[in-house]
Every structure is written in C-alpha cells, then in structure tokens.
Chains A and B, each alone.
Chain A
Amino acid sequence: MPFNMQIKKIPQNGEDFQNIYFNPKFVQARKSGKKLLSKLLRFVFLAGFCFAILYPIILMVSKAFMQRMDVFDNTVILIPKTFTLQNFQIAILQLDYWKSLTHTLFLSTMIMVLETASCLLVGYGFARFNFKLRGLCMALVVFTIIVPPQLILSSMYVQFKMFDPLGLISLFGGKPISLIDTYWPFAMLASTAMATKNGLFILIFTQFFRNMPKEFQEAAFIDGASSFQTFRKIMLPNAKTAIVTVALFGFLWQYNDLNYTSMFLRSKEVFSNTFYRLSTFTTQVYDMLGTNQYDMTLDMYYPVIRSTGVLLILLPLILLFLVAQRQFVESIERVGIVG
C-alpha cells in the first residue's frame, strides 16, 4: 500500500510532513480509522451497559425454573438441571396472583384513563387560552411536582378515612364515610389531575399543544366551530403521540406505585400489598415442599421464590413493553421536551 510506505518515511521538515499529512489518501485512512475506533468504543460501552441491565433479569429467569436442590448445587450455572414450574406455583399461591393481578390491572387502567383525560383538558387549557392567573397556575403545577407525596398523604388519609365533603353529610345527620380500601380516592385524585406525577403530564400536554400551529384553531373558529368542537375534532386527533406517552407512563407508574396504594388500599389484594407475603410461607406451601418452617435449607430457597414473584409481577409490564416498545421509545423522544 503506497500510503503505508509514506508513513514509514519519517518527515524531516515541515513541508514534507504537510505533504504526507494532507495527502488525500492519508486523510481518508485517518478518517476511516477514527470512525472504526469510535464504532468499536461505542459497541463495547453499549454492549457492557446492556449486559449489566439484562444480566439480573436473566439470572432471575434461570433461577425461577430451577428445582430446590439446583439452587444449592454449585455446578449448576444459569441452566437448571431439571426444569420445574414449582417455584411459579408457590409464588402464585403466595401472591394470590390472579386476584391481585385483576385488582391491580383494573386500578391502573381506571387511573390511566381518568388522569389522561383530565391532564389533556388542563394541558390544552394552559396552552391555548390566555387568562389572568395562567402564569400563577403554571407555577403551582410545577410546585405540585416538587412536593413529596408524604407531605399531603397523611392528612389525605384522615380526610378520606372520615370523608365528609364540606360538612354536607353530617349536616344531614349522617356519619362521615370511610373511603379507605375503596377505589374512590384514586378515582377522585385521577379525575382532578392530582394522582401520581400528574403535574408532569400536564406539562407534557401543555408543551405539546403549544407547538401546534395556531392556524388550525383560527380556521376552525372562522368555520364556526365552538371551542370544544375545535378541541375534539382538530386537536385530539393530532395529539395521539402525547396521549399515548402519557397513558403508557400513567399506567406504568400507577402499576408500580407504592405511596398512594399503601395509604389508601391497605387490605385489598394489590401487588403493592401482597408482595410482602412472599417472605413468609403458608402451611400449604410447606406441605407442598414436604418440609416445615424450621428447615434451615429453606433460607437459601426463600430468595428464589421472591425473585420468581417479582418476575410474575413484572410479567404484564414486560408484555406491555414488548407490544408498545416502539411507541414508548419514539414517543418519549418526540414529546420528551418536559420543559
């Protein structure tokens, strides 16, 4: 190769060096070399990070299918000697899985629908209308994001425990109702845009509607559409990406929520309550395993059941993620401006 030979010849004076350095072939080689190097570096880093993220999940899956004896066996790495579904059976029993699943799914879906609708309206109001208190209200929306939920939760608990809006019920001689362990607190919070991270959703919608061309609205106005018609017929169909983003995140964050659920739903079978049960086996499970609770070998086996339970709880989310993966990733990039 000609340019290789040129490199070997060490340039003595500046002119010679320039000739070689700016030789088009050398420049090309340099560029492609750099490109290759940066590609290699990127590959190494990304592969490493991805592995680090996936490895614990792979471990969990492999342990979930292992038999009890395989867990202690040091020669068993990742692939179990005997596949078994017993771990899943125990975890399902412990979690009260199907009941918890339906409750959690129902709750998350309900909240997702309600909060998306309310945040959509509010975001549109902030983006497209001018009113005196708009600046103040927007600042207060940001404020609601900053405040940790614990600050309001404990008094909200008392409020819902003795629910009596404006003293109306006691006025008519009734007793305050307890709404704890019902879905009502969640429905109320979600439909007034006050559930988990709803301030963020309002900001996302506001940003999104602000970037929409004003001409749409003006044209609709000239054609005689009322404001709500404009919203429903023109703005909504165009806001699909933002709606999908907010709905997906709303679902995800509600499904995973501990703050609100552990406050308002204390004895209902939802995952945020039942997963604590993974730590203590029922007698039924001991019978299934053929041991009792004093069996010392079980100490190593408990974590396996717990990680299997975690896997079972995450399963619906992972399925949802696989189905809506493209929407998730693309929408957050497109709407991502949470400014």
Chain B
Amino acid sequence: MKMPSLLKKPSLMQKRSMQGYLYILPWIIGFLLFFITPMIQTAIYSFNKLDKVTYEKTWMGLKNYIHAFRADVDFPIKLVSSLKSLIDVVLILVFAYFVALLLRKPFKGATIVKAIFFLTVILSSDLFMQMQMTSGSLNGTQMNATMQETQQMLPVLQTVDFNKYFADFGIGGNWIQYLNDSISNIFNIMVRSGIQIFIFLAALYSIPESMYEAAEIEGATAWEIFWIITFPMTGPMLLVNAIYTIVDSFSSSLNQVIVYINDISLRQNEIGYASALSWIYFLCIAVILAIVYLMVHKKIFYQN
C-alpha cells in the first residue's frame, strides 16, 4: 500500500505562492521586527514610567494619558493648533491643482518651470524647513525684510488694513483673519505642494484626448469641460493627494506636536510619557484620515 506522501511535489500555483512569500520576505521581517514590535512596545511603555538610564518599567496605569490632558499645559494646545493646520491641506490641494492645470498644455519653457517647481520638493524637506525655523533665515528675517521692502515700494499697502476694511463691511473676523494668514503664508504653501503638483499632472496626462475632442464638438465651454471631464477623471488622485498631504503634514518633524514629543523623548528622556503622547496623536490622525476617506471616497468616480 502506498502512503500519501507528505512531501508531495507542490503544484505550480503553490510554488508561485511560495515564491511570492520569498520575494516579500524582507518586508515581512522588517514589519514584524521593526514595526509591529516597536508599536506594541510603545503601547506598553505608555502605561509605564521608564527609568532614564536602565529603561526599567514601573506600572503607572492610565496616569500618563490623564497627565497629558489634565496636567500638561502645552500638549492640548499644540494638538489643537496642529489639527487646525489641516485647513492648509485644502489650500495646498487647490494650489497644486491650479498649477497642474496651468502646466498641462505644452508651452515654451515648460521644462524650466517644472524644474523650478520640482525644486520645492528639495526646499520642503524637513531638514531645510527646520533650518529655517531654528535660524529664521528664510521665513522669519528674510521674508519680513522682503515684506518691508515691498511695503516701502507700495505705500498703498501700508495704509490699507484689510482686516479693518472687511470688518467695515461686516464680514466675519475669523475668516478674514484666516485668509490674511494664509496669504502671508503663501510661500510655505507653495513649497509644500511640490509633489502634489506632479501627481495631479500625471493624472491630467492620463485623461484621453478623445474625451476633450468629443466635448468640444458637442459645444461644451471650457468651464463645463473642466467640471464634466477633467475634475471627475482626476477624482481618485485627489483622494490620494489629500491623504498624502495630510500624512505628510502630520509626520513632518516641523509639526508642533512632533517637536514636542521629540523634545520629551530626546531631551527629557521621558520615554513612557512620550509614548503615551504619540499614541494619542496617532489615534487623532487615524480618525481624521478615516473621516476624510469616508467623506471623499463615496463621491469619487472610478473609471473601472
């Protein structure tokens, strides 16, 4: 009698599946060792107080979490203001979309303009922005100097106080204040929308030209063409870009909360408390991303 051999030769499908696991093996190792393990570790740390030298744990329960909201003065303020900066994401997306539309049709000098916009990818990097923040070399001193120069050149700007101007019309102060802030923040927004521009551009290039031709023959105006063809066709990329921008702004080392957490874990060496803070922060991000995804996902038109 023949025993059904356990070492039966695997079928082709099984073999391919084995090979698949082999290819992603580095990632599996990395994910288990350098992602899931540290994540569970920080979750445990967040309930403990760690010794500053030996890293020995003493159980604290929920005290770290309570401390973050009750006793810590800085953290809640920083968290809220960093959540408020989400509005910047909208501005970045609108700006990037606008520039991508401008760059869509070929024209003379397009390569140079694209190269300049690509330069912002370098400029928006953490290191560079951090240098500006610590040294105030660009945003602070130089930009202020520029502002002063322009104001001297255009005395009109000095006399016009936009806030007061709009307040006279009875338009709400908050929105105008925000508008004003974002205008003075325009360099920041421009610099942060480098990659987004190119993602939108790729999406715009992928729309078949025949659609535009058909619409033109039917007599649609440019405005209609934009809302009927261009915008829906780039919908999926809009979602991708929105999520990318949110993640980018939340995990950049310029973010106030991140700076604060880094300060606590690096300088003060309070790893337990820092872990609790980063878990709170992560949960906030996860909720926001989920809301954005659910809100936008339904309204998007997917071609296939």
Contact = CB atoms under 8 A, between A and B. Distances in A.
The reply to whether chain A is a binding partner of chain B is: yes
Contacts of A334: 202
B91 interface: no
15 contacts: A46-B103, A46-B113, A124-B23, A131-B16, A148-B251, A150-B251, A162-B55, A194-B31, A202-B27, A227-B16, A257-B127, A307-B138, A309-B131, A328-B118, A332-B195
Q: Which of A56, A59, A189 has the most CB of B within 10 A?
A: A56
B93 interface: no
Contacts, number: 269
A118 interface: yes
Nearest to A43: B107
Contact of B39 (A50, A146, A147, A317): A147
A197 to B, nearest CB: 9
B24 interface: yes
Nearest to A56: B138
Contacts of B121: 252
Interface in B272-300: 274-275, 278-279, 281-282, 285-286, 289
A97 to B, nearest CB: 14
Contacts of A153: 38, 265
A149 B281 CA distance: 11
A332 B198 contact: yes
Contact of B125 (A45, A252, A278, A307): A252
A183 interface: no
Contacts of A276: 134
Interface stretch (B60-68, B158-166, B167-175, B184-192): B184-192
Contacts of A192: 26-27, 29-31, 33-34
Interface stretch (A4-12, A14-22, A258-266, A282-290): A258-266
Interface in A129-184: 129-132, 134, 137, 140-141, 144-159, 161-162
Interface of A: 39, 42, 45-46, 49-50, 52-56, 59-60, 118, 121-122, 124-126, 128-132, 134, 137, 140-141, 144-159, 161-162, 188-189, 191-194, 202, 227, 252-253, 255-259, 262-263, 271-272, 275-276, 278-279, 302-303, 306-307, 309-310, 313-314, 317-318, 321, 325-326, 328-329, 332-334, 336-339
A154 B39 contact: no
B102 A46 contact: yes
Given A148-B251, A150-B281, A272-B127, A122 B41 contact: no
Contacts of A124: 23
Contacts of B271: 154-155, 157-158
B116 A306 contact: no
Contacts of A149: 251
B213 to A, nearest CB: 16
B26 A148 contact: no
Classify the secondary structure of B's interface with A.
helix
Contacts of B203: 336-337
The 9 A-B pairs of least Cβ separation, nearest first, read A192-B30, A125-B23, A129-B20, A336-B202, A256-B125, A306-B135, A155-B41, A194-B30, A307-B137
B236 interface: yes
Contacts of A151: 38-39, 42, 275, 278-279, 281-282
Contacts of A252: 121-122, 125
B266 interface: yes
Contacts of A279: 134-135
Given A50-B113, A307-B135, A338-B240, A193 B30 contact: yes
B26 A259 contact: no
Given A122-B26, A275-B131, A310-B131, A154 B45 contact: yes
A317 to B, nearest CB: 5
Contact of B247 (A50, A145, A255, A271): A145
A253 B45 CA distance: 29
Nearest to B98: A45
B207 interface: no
Interface string B115-129: 111111111011110
Given A122-B26, A257-B127, A60 B102 contact: no
Interface stretch (B2-10, B71-79, B141-149, B223-231): B141-149
B199 interface: yes
A259 B253 contact: yes
Given A151-B282, A255-B127, A262-B266, A144 B31 contact: yes
A156 B38 contact: yes
Given A272-B127, A310-B131, 16 more contacts: A53-B119, A121-B24, A125-B20, A151-B281, A151-B282, A157-B265, A256-B122, A263-B266, A275-B134, A302-B135, A303-B137, A303-B142, A321-B119, A329-B115, A333-B202, A336-B199
A152 B55 contact: no
A227 B127 CA distance: 41
A216 B41 CA distance: 45
Contacts of A42: 102, 107
B233 interface: no
B118 A325 contact: yes
Contact of B131 (A137, A257, A313, A317): A313
B285 to A, nearest CB: 7
B178 interface: no
A307 B107 contact: no
Contacts of B31: 140, 144, 192, 194
A73 B181 CA distance: 31
Contacts of A145: 247
A303 B141 contact: yes
